[in-house]
């Protein structure tokens, strides 16, 4: 999934590279690739250079095919920040998202990056997590100038300690990308501290060549650079081939940076890491790791393999080579715990690997509503559909097994609308959702999730007055408007307490904003009872006068009788009595 910052559109300034220089460099690339078009490209270049003298000829040279051809030889961010901004023809020809989206993990033109992130307040709208992602993505690009701008922007907005933590993430990202110059710049400038996590991050991405440099750099400052043996090999066997792992291990042992511990029980982490490694020699690394740590064949290797895209092929190989798919039986507090697929099932469902889940089902693994709820929470619709097709999810609510209702509840709680939509479409779920409307809608209202509210309503849930009241208590005026627009009742008959009248509830708090909102939404009066209950709730005189002015019906005798003890003899009772007397005089006349 692409991070939101990846799609940032960076405005550029007129101070960027000139049309002529950029177009000439692009034209040269085109000529090297396809000499047959050199005349057309040179014509475009010359026309752009002479644009002030003959704008019409320049316009004719900027034809869409030529522009797109030139763009194909330039880095994507150069196209987005420079080429497409030359003139209207270029903007029209390069209007697609592939040409207008700036990817921060790739090099960006310094002038455009500085204009977007170099001004005060540039990162003001980003939380700490997003600021960290900005630094990590920029570090991945390998551009020191842009990273300096990003670090300065974050320093202006965040405390010093937070900046150091964010820069540590950038250092790890640079190590993963193999950018030694970025690592050196961050460490030399004191942006962050050296940590062993940087070494492990580099190894997980196969950047073994960077590890020795990182270790030696730590030594030059007289600091301890020893590494944990298990952590080192766990990272190395994941990202590097076996030959590199052996060379690196031997070198670090020679330098006394690691000390082998063959009997360490954490060695199973190394085995699991080897089983999930993306390299082609993962089987060889797995066998070496197990032998090096003197471990038995267990389901730990299968647990690592189940997370891979080719999980079925790996699990098949492991099973055929003596690795059990089930956990080893053991005794716990005197009770015998039988072998089970639970760890593998949990791992497969967690990553949403449909093929692995199907494989385990075929092997005899038991799955049910618990796994379905897990999949719904994570948004893994494919796994959920498979479990439903295999009959693993009950339609009925039985004891501690909520079945599809529990799945629907988890999807609503986790804000997974695509899962909610699918579950709602399963035959029989509409009635189930209708019987549990309050619980499901309560969750959606608390999260102020309008698409989920609409989906639940379509699935058979019904609006009730207390849903509207709940939105008010949560101080969600927009939710109140949305509910009213979608037919949610704003009143209840008859009024039996203050909480049965929105006007009484808002009035006693002096909440004039909500009172005006209720009138705008067309919340109906409930006869004289509305006014009477407003008096009984203790509304102040300005609120009562406002209600009367808005046309609220009044039974003056009932209103006087509803005055609370603390208001007797006060302005509210005197005003009501005067109004009652006038009414009686009119009737006598």
Q: pLDDT by residue (tens digit) across 446-479?
A: 888 888 888 888 777 788 898 999 999 999 999 9
Q: Verify that 160 and 42 share a domain, yes or no.
A: no
The answer to whether position 344 is within a domain reads no
Geometric angle at alpha carbon 27, from 23 and 28, rounded to 5° = 120
What is the mean pLDDT of the segment spanning 24-44? Answer: 40
Q: Verify that 205 and 105 share a domain, yes or no.
A: no
- pLDDT interval class at 585 (50, 70, 90): low
- pLDDT over 70 at 13, yes or no: no
Arithmetic mean of pLDDT over the chain: 81
Instruction: Kindly state the tokens that stand for 49.
Output: 């250079």
Residues 489, 526 contacting (CB under 8 angstroms): no
Q: Verify that 56 and 147 share a domain, yes or no.
A: no
Q: Verify that 206 and 262 share a domain, yes or no.
A: yes
Min mean pLDDT across 181-185, 318-322, 431-435, 487-491 is at 431-435
Q: What per-residue confidence (pLDDT) applies to 295?
A: 86
Show the domain range for 376. 367-440
Residue 300's closest CA among 339, 326, 338, 332? 326
Q: Verify that 65 and 184 share a domain, yes or no.
A: no
Q: Distance between CA atoms of 28 and 58, rounded to whole angstroms? A: 18
The answer to whether position 35 is within a domain reads yes
- pLDDT over 70 at 23, yes or no: no
Domain boundary among 265, 300, 326: 326
The answer to whether position 296 is within a domain reads yes
Domain boundary among 326, 354, 384: 326
Q: What per-residue confidence (pLDDT) applies to 25?
A: 47
Distances (CA, A) of 270 to 49, 231, 314: 61, 8, 17
- pLDDT over 80 at 190, yes or no: yes
Q: Distance between CA atoms of 242 and 366, rounded to whole angstroms? A: 36
Q: Distance between CA atoms of 29 and 23, rounded to whole angstroms? A: 10
pLDDT digits (tens, 9 = 90+) for 530-571: 999 999 998 999 999 999 999 999 998 899 988 888 777 788
- pLDDT over 90 at 103, yes or no: no
Q: Verify that 388 and 288 share a domain, yes or no.
A: no
Residue 353's closest CA among 394, 391, 388, 305? 305
Q: What percent of the chain has pLDDT over 90?
A: 39
- pLDDT over 80 at 388, yes or no: yes
Higher pLDDT, residue 403 or 174: 174
58: helix, coil or strand? helix
Beta strand ranges found along 194-347 (DSSP E)? 330-332, 335-337
What is the mean pLDDT of the segment spanning 502-517? Answer: 93
Q: What per-residue confidence (pLDDT) applies to 275?
A: 95
Residues 403, 371 contacting (CB under 8 angstroms): no
- pLDDT over 80 at 300, yes or no: yes
Q: What per-residue confidence (pLDDT) applies to 1?
A: 38
The answer to whether position 57 is within a domain reads yes
The answer to whether position 337 is within a domain reads no
- pLDDT over 90 at 218, yes or no: no
Q: What per-residue confidence (pLDDT) applies to 335?
A: 59
Q: Verify that 48 and 169 share a domain, yes or no.
A: no
Higher pLDDT, residue 5 or 300: 300
- Choose the most confident range, by mean pLDDT, from 1-5, 152-156, 173-177: 173-177
Total domains in the chain come to: 4
Q: What per-residue confidence (pLDDT) applies to 587?
A: 58
- pLDDT interval class at 132 (50, 70, 90): very high
- pLDDT over 70 at 261, yes or no: no
Higher pLDDT, residue 71 or 529: 529
Min mean pLDDT across 12-26, 266-280, 326-340, 429-443 is at 12-26
Cβ partners under 8 Å of residue 576, min gap 6: 535, 544, 556, 559, 560, 563
pTM for the model stands at 0.70
Q: Verify that 497 and 570 share a domain, yes or no.
A: yes
Q: What per-residue confidence (pLDDT) applies to 481?
A: 94
What is the mean pLDDT of the segment spanning 310-333? Answer: 85
Q: What is the CATH number of the domain that holds 273?
A: 1.25.40
Q: Distance between CA atoms of 588 and 177, rounded to whole angstroms? A: 93
The answer to whether position 453 is within a domain reads no
Instruction: Kindly state the tokens that stand for 399.
Output: 């004891």
Domain boundary among 411, 440, 469: 440
Q: What per-residue confidence (pLDDT) applies to 301?
A: 92
Task: Please report which residue ranges of 158-189 form alpha helices under DSSP H.
Answer: 160-177, 180-188
Q: Distance between CA atoms of 180 and 197, rounded to whole angstroms? A: 15
Q: Verify that 152 and 298 share a domain, yes or no.
A: yes
Residue written as tokens 């998202």?
97
Q: Verify that 178 and 99 share a domain, yes or no.
A: no
Residues 454, 479 contacting (CB under 8 angstroms): no
The answer to whether position 356 is within a domain reads no
The answer to whether position 335 is within a domain reads no
Q: Distance between CA atoms of 392 and 365, rounded to whole angstroms? A: 11
Q: Verify that 240 and 149 share a domain, yes or no.
A: yes
- Choose the most confident range, by mean pLDDT, from 100-104, 218-222, 577-581: 577-581
Q: Verify that 421 and 501 share a domain, yes or no.
A: no
Residues 388, 426 contacting (CB under 8 angstroms): yes
- pLDDT interval class at 40 (50, 70, 90): very low
């Amino acid at each position: 999934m692409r991070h939101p910052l990846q799609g940032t559109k960076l405005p550029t300034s007129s101070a960027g590279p000139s049309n002529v220089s950029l177009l000439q460099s692009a034209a040269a690339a085109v000529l090297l690739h396809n000499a047959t078009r050199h005349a057309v490209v040179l014509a475009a270049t010359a026309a752009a250079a002479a644009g002030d003298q003959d704008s019409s000829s320049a316009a004719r040279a900027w034809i869409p095919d030529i522009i797109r051809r030139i763009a194909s030889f330039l880095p994507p961010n150069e196209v987005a920040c420079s080429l497409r901004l030359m003139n209207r023809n270029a903007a029209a020809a390069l209007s697609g998202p592939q040409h207008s989206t700036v990817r921060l993990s790739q090099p960006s033109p310094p002038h455009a990056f500085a204009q977007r992130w170099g001004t005060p307040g540039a990162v003001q709208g980003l939380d700490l997590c997003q600021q960290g992602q900005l630094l990590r993505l920029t570090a991945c690009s390998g551009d020191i100038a842009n990273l300096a701008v990003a670090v300065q922007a974050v320093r202006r907005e965040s405390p010093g300690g937070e900046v150091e933590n964010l820069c540590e993430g950038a250092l790890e990202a640079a190590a993963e990308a193999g950018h030694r110059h970025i690592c050196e710049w961050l460490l030399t400038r004191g942006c962050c501290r050296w940590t062993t996590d940087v070494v492990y991050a580099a190894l997980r991405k196969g950047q073994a060549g960077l590890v020795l440099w990182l270790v030696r750099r730590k030594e030059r400052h007289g600091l301890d650079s020893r590494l944990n043996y298990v952590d080192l090999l766990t990272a190395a066997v994941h990202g590097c081939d076996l030959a590199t792992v052996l060379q690196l291990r031997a070198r670090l042992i020679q330098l006394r940076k690691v000390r082998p511990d063959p009997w360490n029980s954490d060695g199973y982490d190394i085995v699991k890491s080897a089983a999930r490694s993306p390299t082609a020699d993962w089987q060889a690394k797995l066998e070496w790791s197990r032998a090096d740590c003197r471990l038995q064949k267990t389901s730990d290797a299968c647990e690592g393999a189940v997370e891979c895209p080719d999980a079925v092929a790996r699990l098949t190989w492991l099973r055929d080579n003596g690795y059990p798919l089930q956990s080893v039986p053991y005794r716990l507090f005197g009770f015998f715990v039988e072998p089970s697929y639970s760890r593998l099932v949990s791992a497969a469902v967690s990553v949403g690997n449909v093929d692995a889940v199907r494989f385990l089902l075929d092997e005899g693994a038991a799955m049910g509503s618990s796994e379905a709820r897990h999949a719904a929470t994570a948004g893994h619709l494919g796994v959920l559909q498979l479990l439903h097709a295999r009959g693993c999810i009950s339609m009925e609510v039985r004891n501690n097994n909520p079945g599809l209702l529990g799945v629907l509840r988890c999807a609503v709680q986790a804000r997974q609308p695509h899962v909610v939509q699918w579950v709602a479409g399963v035959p029989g779920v509409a009635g189930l959702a209708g019987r549990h409307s309050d619980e499901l809608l309560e969750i959606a209202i608390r999260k102020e999730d309008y698409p989920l509210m609409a989906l639940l309503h379509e699935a058979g849930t019904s609006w009730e007055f207390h849903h509207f009241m709940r939105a008010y208590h949560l101080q969600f005026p927009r939710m109140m408007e949305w509910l009213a627009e979608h037919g949610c009742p704003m009143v209840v008959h008859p009024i039996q307490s203050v909480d049965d009248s929105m006007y009484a509830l808002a009035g006693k708090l002096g909440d004039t904003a909500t009172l005006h909102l209720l009138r705008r939404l067309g919340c109906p009066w409930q006869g004289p009872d509305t006014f009477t209950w407003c008096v009984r709730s203790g509304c102040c005189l300005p609120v009562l006068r406002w209600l009367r002015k808005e046309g609220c019906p009044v039974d003056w005798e009932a209103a006087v009788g509803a005055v609370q003890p603390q208001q007797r003899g006060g302005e509210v009772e005197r005003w009501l009595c005067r109004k009652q007397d006038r009414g009686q005089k009119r009737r006598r006349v």
